[in-house]
Amino acid sequence: MTKLNAKIPEGLLAEKWTKHKASVKLVSPANKKKLDIIVVGAGAAGASAAASLGELGYNVKVFVFHDSPRRAHSIASQGGINATKNYKNDADSDYRLFYDMIKGGDFRAREANVYRAAEISNNIIDQYVAQGVPFAREYSGYLANRSFGGVQVSRTFYAQGQTGQQCTLAAYQAMSRQIKAGKIKLFSRRDVLDLVVIEGKARGIITRNLLTGEIERHSAHAIVFATGGYGTIYYLSTLAINSNGSAALAAYKKGALIANPSMAQIHPTSIPVLNEYQSKLTLMSESLRNDGRVWVPKKKDEKRPPNEVPEEDRDYYLERKYPAFGNLVPRDVASRAAKERCDAGYGVGKTGLAVYLDFRDAIQNQGKETIVGKYGTLFDLYRKVTGINPYEEPMRIYPASHYTMGGLWVDFNLMTTIPGLYAIGEANFSDHGANRLGASSLMQCAGDGYFILPVTIGDYLADEIMTPTISTDTPEFEQAEKEVLEKLKKLLSINGSQTVKSFHKKLGNILWTYSGMQRNEEGLKKALEMIKELNDEFWKDLKIPGGLYELNQEFEKAKRVADFFDLAQLIILDALNRKESCGAHFREEFQTKEGEPKRDDENYSYVASWEYVDENTPPKLHKEQLTFEFVKVTQRSYK
Amino acid sequence: MKITLKIWRQKTSQDKGKFVTYKLDDVSKEMTFLEMLDYLNEKIIMEGEIPIAFDSDCREGICGSCGLYINGRPNGPQKGVTTCQLSMSAFKDGDKITVEPWRSKAFPVLKDLIIDRNAFDELIQSGGYISVNTGAAPEANSIPIKKENSEIAFDAGVCIGCGSCVAACKNASAMLFISAKVSQYAVLPQGQVEAKERVQAMIKKMDELGFGNCTNTGACEAECPKEISLTNIARLNREFLAAKIS
Amino acid sequence: MRSFLGTSVAKKIVMALAGLFLIIFLLVHLTINLFLLSDDPNPFNNAANFMAANPIIKAFELVLFAGFLIHITWGVILQIQNWLARPKKYIKHHSSQTSFFSKYMIYLGVIIFIFLIIHFVNFYFVKLGWVEGDPENFYDMAHKLFKIPVYSIIYLICFLFLAFHLHHAFQSAFQTIGLNHPKYTPTIKLIGTLYSIIVPLGFAIIPVIIYFFK
């Protein structure tokens, strides 16, 4: 493995992407028709990429594990999408968004990528509006904006609490149009089990048809993974229960690097765990912190219901600790602050693991109507889950696993270290550093899918125009299929006594305890041992009913959890390696006097990228040094 | 609490299928309906049997994967919820609950409670989009849109494609589903360019796929977890009529 | 045109328009029928003769028949399509909140159709000379028929079913032709309800009054 080359173009920050676009190699329309591209995943990133590639004239094959691409978890993104339109005249600009993201990510993201994300943000809004996304509007008929955590401008476009749904469906529909046009072939209910690499290039995938269990081979000139995040590794998370890291792991085992795997965002405003049966946690959009005030009682044994606690007995701890940003501090900061209060014994609710998010003042000042208009769907959602009416009583919230900043390492072209394999959206690592700011996930997904990948993939494919359709009848496909089958059969043959769910729960619990909002060396080491033990137990005592060649949901889950075990070890190794605190990665040993993360820029200003060696050898670390030419690296402060 | 479940079991799409009765005597009211099924499945697995297959993903009512016909109603007795949002508190001790898959010619059963909803994708493919290529969009604020219209578009656009409307409709019609998409674009200037073609293509496709037609019964509206209104179907009819006579 | 009538929605629209036309016709019919309550047979017979003789009305009759034909044929075709759309039924019966009578429109329609045949045999075929009777004196014929208890009871039941049919039909027709507006729809529904009660009631009181008081 050679040294990582991020291929960042030379020149001024604001010119890098423009110059790059002007210099990439092109594929003529006639040649595009001859080239196949596989896109795995069809959420905000995958669907927009597939649609755009289809429009360009490539032959696209899309693979999703859902029954329909419209189910991708981007659909659950709630609060909004950022852009630097500056419609509010509040001095917003590309640079400001770029800076907010770099700072929000605690100076662990790549400058050039982040700037590009900010630069193309406006095109995304234009595109979505043209596609019919019903963003919120003012009475004038022009687009409305709101604020999000970690910023001091209003640049977030939104469609009530269902922005992700509206944007994802727009992309899904654009893709549907290409399916009708014959430029995209859709393969639904397919799990990607392996990546096929031929002569060093990504050339195909091995899939399992989830309806029949059949193992299939598919080839292409280039492959795009838009497979989302792996936050479900914590068992309870705000993610859809089937979200997984298997495709990323398959790529990793075939030579792609996974970068910053331990950078997992714990979202501060989720509905707390209510009972032991719970299968997932429901997110309450960060946008609620625009108007909601977070507090806990000042007294530890407060017995009064929240509405009867007078002003002087309430601790609005975010406003107290961070007066400049108040309730709108970034997610990692808000999460830790909530945990700190609860750990100190001030938490509320049955479990003491919750804080209040109160709309009393907002309803008083703005009227209920306005609040309904802004957050109606979210309030309804909250009421449906908890049975509490948030218009009358404060919400109870607690942090939950949400988003993974880490993912497949990609260069400026979004290509992984395997030529021809691209990773876009949450599946890659590139734009959010150690902490993602709200409303920038949809933005990154759409940016990657609509505007970046369709340009950069041409640069690679321009050299492939002479390559005929890739045959699936090669030794490499043969070998990959054989290995996959062996592993699947091994899983099925265990015939133990414990269900997949019980293993997943235990694994999630270890990670949440030792590698959640706070980490320390001792705990991480202990966790690593525990994971290894549990992994051994998994391979000895797992019980899967049913067989391979049928619709078998337990088997699907087992495969995903088996991969989570590998990923979990990688997460712990990464967290152990990074002996500093930054963003979501909070090592207790490294904090300031005020309990804020203490970075070590001298030694850890790099992207930790892990290379798979073999089953018995620990992964190899590659460092991509981060250089900051255009911002001054400072201690992050929201006070 | 104790409950008795009568659940549709069907091995494959070809299998005839039958109802199987399960008894649970320690169900918590705090469970969601699907968590109760998860719990039942864990028991079934431990007994060495094949668990009940059902689709679900986001478990927060937005992806549209889940959807079961519970005691004669899509998504059970609570109003405005998906099956994953249905709480066991809606039931009481000793209840007998019948669980069936969506029944419709256009949504064949694949296994147990899992159905094939590809037909919805095909409906969208037939015209449920605005034909704008990436990069071809004008500046977002160049066309102001009445707030009211934008809200109508949103209220129609919240459809999650779960199929509750088809399941509830005595005619297994997809009119509410397509009307939501047609309405969303009928009220937006961006959607008007292709309005005529869109409404005709989508209706034609609906007939082809074997969905029934609308008898204005209103079951779809009553059972839609996103409470999408029948006024959208009227708008669809209006759009269709306008497309045909103009 | 073929493509227009080809789709389900087109059929529904045509069916709704035909239905609305029939609803208007029903009002005209009721007005004439109410003359039966007069002790003088002339107003009714004159009206009936006028209907039979006037060439414009004759032409209109064709339109009326077409209306019936379309409404019934399309109704049956659409119903079959609807039955086919769910080959396997649910075992647990539907309990959604819905427009109640809409579920039984086809059955109500069949009953009304049977009534229509009886009605034709009694009057229209007489007029055509297919069935014996005095086309010049429908007044007497009607009075005689209404004195037969079984006939009157069947007549009453049919109009009860017509009321049910109309109750859903009236507002449904507006919805089908695309007229649904938060401001006006409640009024349309109210008119529909009133219409579905008053008009069949108007028809129904005639045999009752004749049977008991004439």
Give the least confident one: A423-427, A454-458, B94-98, C48-52: C48-52
Distance from C-alpha of C38 to C-alpha of B11, rounded to nearest angstrom: 71
Interval A429-451: pLDDT, tens: 989 999 999 999 999 999 999 99
What tens digit of pLDDT does each residue of A540-576 get? Answer: 999 999 999 999 999 999 999 999 999 999 999 999 9
Q: Tally the residues of chain B.
A: 246
Other CB atoms within 10 Å distance of the CB of residue C179: 16
A75, closest residue in chain B (CA to CA): B63
Our answer on whether A and C touch (3+ beta-carbon pairs < 8 Å) is no
- Supply the pLDDT for residue C5: 66
Chain B: residue nearest C5 by CA?
Answer: B244
Name which of A222, A593, A215 is nearest A418 in CA terms: A222
Looking at beta carbons, which residues of chain B come within 8 Å of A141?
A: 144-147
How many CB pairs below 8 A link A and B? 220
Helices (H), A57-210: 94-104, 111-119, 121-130, 163-180
Is C57 a residue whose pLDDT tops 90?
Answer: no
pLDDT grade, residue A183 (50/70/90)?
Answer: very high
Measure the CA–CA gap between A547 and C115, rounded to whole angstroms. Answer: 61
Average pLDDT over residues C70-78: 93
pLDDT digits (tens, 9 = 90+) for A289-310: 999 999 999 999 899 999 999 9
Asked if C88 has any chain B CB less than 8 Å from its own CB, the reply is yes
- C33: how many CB neighbours lie within 10 A of its CB? 16
CB contact under 8 A, B120 and A68: yes
Distances (CA, A) of B210 to A45, A175, A361, C94: 33, 24, 53, 21
Q: What is the pLDDT of residue C134?
A: 77
Q: Which residues of chain C are within 8 Å of residue B178 when distances are taken between CB atoms?
A: none
Cβ of residue A168 closer than 8 Å to a chain B Cβ = no
The yes-or-no verdict on residue A1 having pLDDT over 50 is no
Q: CB distance from B14 to chain A under 8 Å?
A: no
Tell me what percent of the residues of chain A surpass a pLDDT of 70.
Answer: 100
Rounded Cα distance, A59 and A179, in Å: 10
Q: Please tell me if residue B145 touches chain A, with a CB cutoff of 8 Å.
A: yes
Q: A504 with A244: CB under 8 angstroms? A: no
Residues 6+ apart with CB under 8 A from A479: none
Listed by start position, the domains of chain B span: 3-100, 118-245
Residue pair B49/B41 in contact by the 8 Å Cβ criterion? no
Indicate left, alpha or beta for A37 from its phi (over 0: left) and psi (-120 to 50: alpha).
beta
Which residues in chain A have Cβ-Cβ distances shorter than 8 Å to B111? 551
Tally Cβ neighbours within 10 Å of residue C42.
11
- Chain A interface, mutation test: which of B44, B49, B63, most A Cβ atoms within 10 Å? B63
- Around C91, how many Cα atoms within 13 Å sit in the side-chain half-sphere? 11
Exposure on the CB side of residue C128, measured as CA atoms within 13 A: 9
Indicate whether C4 pLDDT > 90.
no
Q: Is A331 considered catalytic here?
A: yes
How many beta-carbon pairs below 8 A join chains B and C?
142
Please say whether the beta carbons of A353 and A272 come within 8 A.
Answer: yes
Nearest CA-CA distance, residue B138 and chain C, Å: 32
Q: Which of residues 55-74 of B touch C (CB under 8 A)?
A: 69, 71-74
Asked if residues C45 and C136 have their Cβ atoms less than 8 Å apart, the reply is yes
CB contact under 8 A, B62 and A282: no
Express each pLDDT in A207-240 by its tens digit: 999 999 999 999 999 999 999 999 999 999 999 9
Structure tokens at B38: 């998860």
pLDDT, tens only, B134-163: 999 999 999 999 999 999 999 999 999 999
Q: Is pLDDT above 80 for B238?
A: yes
Nearest-CA distance C9 → chain B (Å):
7
| A166/B contact by beta carbon, under 8 A | yes
Burial B4-29 (b: 16+ CB within 10 A, else e): ebbbbbbeeeeeebeeeebebeebee
Q: Using a CB–CB cutoff of 8 Å, tell me whether B213 touches chain C.
A: yes
Task: Provide, as residue numbers in chain B, all residues whose Cβ is less than 8 Å from the Cβ of C80.
Answer: none
Q: Which domains, from first to last, does chain A contain?
A: 267-401 (3.90.700.10), 475-618 (1.20.58.100)
Catalytic residue from among A331, A436, A560, A599? A331
Q: What does the pLDDT read at residue C1?
A: 43
Q: Find chain C residues with C-beta within 8 A of B206's C-beta.
A: 8
Are residues B216 and C97, on separate chains, in Cβ contact within 8 Å?
no
Residues 12-41 of A with CB under 8 A from B: none
| Residue B201 in contact with partner chain A when CB distance is under 8 A | no
CATH architecture of B3-100: Roll (3.10)
Return the axis-axis angle of helices A163-180 and B118-125, rounded to nearest 10°.
80
CA angle A118, B185, B227 (to 5 degrees): 100
Q: What are the tens digits of pLDDT across the range B101-129?
A: 999 999 999 999 999 999 999 999 999 99
Residue with tokens 């990228």: A609
Classify residue B163 as exposed, middle or buried by CB count within 10 Å of its CB (0-12, 13-18, 19+). buried
Contact A164, A80 (CB under 8 A): no
Identify the bridge partners of residue A620 per DSSP, sorted by sequence position.
Answer: A611
Residues C17-40 have a mean pLDDT of 92
Q: What residues contact B56, with CB distance under 8 A and at least 6 apart?
A: A241, B34, B65, B66, B83, B84
**Tens-place pLDDT, residues A522-546:** 999 999 999 999 999 999 999 999 9
User: Rounded to 5 degrees, what are φ and ψ at B132?
Assistant: -120, 125
Contact in structure between A440 and A478 (CB atoms under 8 Å):
no
Distance CA B42, CA A159 (A): 39
Most confident option among B35-49, C99-113, C116-130: B35-49
Residue carrying the six token digits 């630069």: A119
* Percent of the residues in chain B that have a pLDDT greater than 90, as a whole number: 98
Classify domain B118-245 by CATH architecture.
Orthogonal Bundle (1.10)
Of the pLDDT bands very low, low, confident and very high (cuts 50, 70, 90), residue C6 is confident
Q: Is A637 helix (H, G, I), strand (E, B) or coil?
A: coil
Strand stretches in A415-541, DSSP E:
421-423
Asked if A505 and A239 count as a contact pair (C-beta separation under 8 A), the reply is no
- Residue in chain A closest to B78 (alpha carbons) equals A384
